Chains A and B, each alone.
Chain A
Amino acid sequence: MKWRGSLRERCLLRAVQICNIISVSAAFFQGNFTVPKTEKTAKRTGPEANHAVKMAIREASKSYQTRSGAVHALDKVSLDVREGEFLCILGPSGCGKTTLLWSMAGLHTLSSGDIRLGNEPITKPHPEIAMIFQDANLLPWRNLAKNIELPFELKRRPPDRARIDKLLERVGLAGFENKFPRELSGGMQQRASIVRSLSVDPSVLLMDEPFGALDAFTRDEMNLLIQEIWMETRKTIAFVTHSISEAIFLADRVAVMSARPGRIAEIYDIDIPRPRAIDIQTEPDFIKQVLDIKSRIEHGRGAKVAIT
């Protein structure tokens, strides 16, 4: 009897041990135990408010198989997107910015690591997350109204007329509902695509170099508009760009990515008071910040720091 009892005890003990290991490792993989390595920011001047994390990216890696071998687009990227913040992801072409954003949108599978919205792992597109693409990405065979109704159509819901009309009014597109995309300017197309994404009232907006194809004037205009929209709605925005000044102008925080393999190199806090005017881009402090980031990117690439 004593022998059986001791066996039972040993079994119980082992079971408890295994449970402990499982829960500890689960917690570890959920990111509860990992210290965000990338948070070693150069400057931390902003007030340390309670930063609720909206989206958590943990050790995200992604490699593509191409004919010339594997390309590591993302290499153990860890990044928190805070609730209601405007985060810019900045980096040179081909550093994996878009890959990171597509993965956050659930359009891509990661090779390893995970991305969470709150506690939900993102493995497929999520209704709370809306994406805004390069070049507006309107459907040329649909007029503006039909383009904006697309998300509702796909979700098999009646379109939210009141909200759509309000948004169209807000971005200055009221009265253009019957126009086709080719009849609209680039800026108007991108405004339409912003309305399309906001119409379903997502809590996270992912923007993939949305204004990259626009001319400088329209771009300024769009930057002001997106700032206003953000201040009004307080959506969480992750905005990918390769323009340093655009990133500083828009962001609460700028995450600088380095290329090959794609990593978060640095995170900067930008504490310029809002609303920010276009003019601030010519102020010495602003330019200093641009040059600072620029030198770090170039330093990171192994090039000489050469600023003229």
Chain B
Amino acid sequence: MDKVLGDKIPEFNKKAAGGGNVGLSGASFSLGDHRTKFETLVIILIAVVIIGGTELSLVLFNVPQYVLPKPSLIVSALFTEWKFLWPHILITIYELLTGFAIGASIGFVLAAVITQFPFVEKIVTPYILLLVTTPMLALVPLLILRFGFGSEPRIIAVALASGPMVMINSATGFRRVDLAKIALARSFGASTLQIFTKIRIPMAMPMIIVGLMVGSIFGLLTAIGAEMVGGAEGLGNRLTYYSALIRMPQFFAIILILAFMGISIYVFFFWLGKKWASWET
């Protein structure tokens, strides 16, 4: 009568089986929920001391610009070069978003489907692990041979890097089946689709968000790397370009932009986790 509950002994743990305690803070370091004004002040103070100290010591010891440019120069380069960098930023974001959207959707759907069939899951998992552990950057030269110097090979590389990450984390989430919660929904006449949307997805949500976060950061990494390998556009390409010209302030300005992009991704998913998965802490 019921595929899920059919012949299972009605025993269940308080904690959902398989997953254990997972939280956003488990995957990477937390932004922290409660920070006092004093703590915030200390963080800012440290930044000021580091930046100020660097500036001062660079001037003091007369370090040449090609070794390490002064922070003030980096910031001014960011402003003066902005109009030249802007199109490259857009290209990198475009590659990241497109590749991530493709990879994450495929990864999510695969995770949702595969976890329903334990046999298939056991067969597929080693291959997914292989995809996770192989640096997709290694494929970029091959992809460029096939797809040329446009955005396509890089989008594919981003998808290949982020998809398996999303998949493997989402699968962990979907595996956390709580028989009692499914029985609850079933007892009120829920269909299999309703059990999926109302029980399984919310239950997997914390892990799905972790997967999306890790996947998108891997995606950014791969996008920049792929741009450094070949082509004439994107922030990764600019990095090689400026370092070849030994224009260090511009080089560091790009690193600043990349750091900002990375932290934005993190903050976005942290916020998403707070919104959709805060029930599990």
Which residues B172-216 have CB closer than 8 A to chain A?
A: 180-181, 183-190, 194, 198-199, 202-203, 205
CB of A151 to closest CB in B, whole Å: 4
Kindly identify which residue among B2, B181, B190, B203 contacts A154, using a CB–CB cutoff of 8 Å.
B190
Task: Please determine whether A200 and B188 come into contact, CB atoms closer than 8 angstroms.
Answer: yes
The interface-forming segment of B4-12, B49-57, B88-96, B242-250 is B4-12
Residues of the B chain whose Cβ atoms lie less than 8 Å from the Cβ of A107 = 2, 5, 10, 183, 186-187
| A15 close to chain B: CB less than 8 A | no
Which of A121-129, A163-171, A284-292 is the interface stretch? Answer: A121-129
Flag if B5 contacts A108 (CB, 8 Å). yes
Q: Does A141 make an interface contact (CB < 8 A)? A: yes
Closest partner residue, chain B, to A200 (CB atom): B188
Contacts of B276 in A (CB 8 A): 141
Interface centre among A66, A124, A141, A180, by most chain B C-beta atoms within 10 angstroms, is: A141
Q: How far is the CA of A109 from the CA of B5 in the complex (A)?
A: 9
The answer to whether A66 and B9 touch across the interface, beta carbons within 8 angstroms, is: yes
- Option from A66, A137, A151, A153 in Cβ contact (under 8 Å) with B180: A137
Is A50 on the interface with B (CB-CB < 8 A)? no
1/0 contact string of B69-83 vs chain A (CB within 8 Å) = 000000000000000
Q: Say yes or no: is A98 at the interface (Cβ < 8 Å to chain B).
A: yes
**Judging by beta carbons under 8 Å apart, are B194 and A139 in contact?**
no
Residue A140 interfacial (CB < 8 Å) = yes
User: With A and B bound together, what is the CA distance between A130 and B10 in angstroms?
Assistant: 17
Q: Looking at chain A's contact residues, is the secondary structure mostly helix, strand, loop, or mixed?
A: loop
* Nearest CB of A to B230, in Å: 45
> In the complex the two chains form, is A64's CB within 8 Å of B9's CB?
yes
Q: How far is the CA of A114 from the CA of B186 in the complex (A)?
A: 20
**In A87-127, which residues have CB < 8 Å from any B CB?**
98-99, 102, 105-109, 123-125, 127
Interface check A150, CB cutoff 8 A: yes
Per-position binary interface string of chain A over residues 142-176, scored 1 when its CB falls under 8 Å from any chain B CB and 0 otherwise: 00000000110111000000000000000000000
CA A219 to CA B9, docked complex, whole Å: 26
Given contacts A65-B7, A106-B1, A127-B189, contact A141 B180 (CB under 8 A): no
- Tell me which residues across on chain B come within 8 A of A108, comparing CB atoms: 1-2, 5-6, 10
From B9, B187, B199, contact of A139 by CB (8 A): B199
Contacting pair B6 A109 (CB below 8 A): yes
The chain B residues found within 8 Å of chain A, CB to CB, are 1-2, 5-10, 14, 180-181, 183-190, 194, 198-199, 202-203, 205, 276-277, 279-280
The 7 A-B pairs with the shortest beta carbon distances in the complex, nearest first, are: A151-B188, A141-B279, A131-B187, A140-B279, A154-B190, A154-B188, A141-B202
A–B Cβ pairs within 8 angstroms, 27 of them: A65-B7, A66-B9, A102-B5, A107-B2, A107-B10, A107-B187, A108-B5, A108-B6, A108-B10, A109-B1, A123-B1, A124-B2, A125-B188, A129-B187, A130-B187, A131-B187, A139-B199, A139-B202, A141-B205, A150-B184, A150-B188, A151-B188, A153-B198, A154-B185, A154-B188, A180-B279, A200-B188
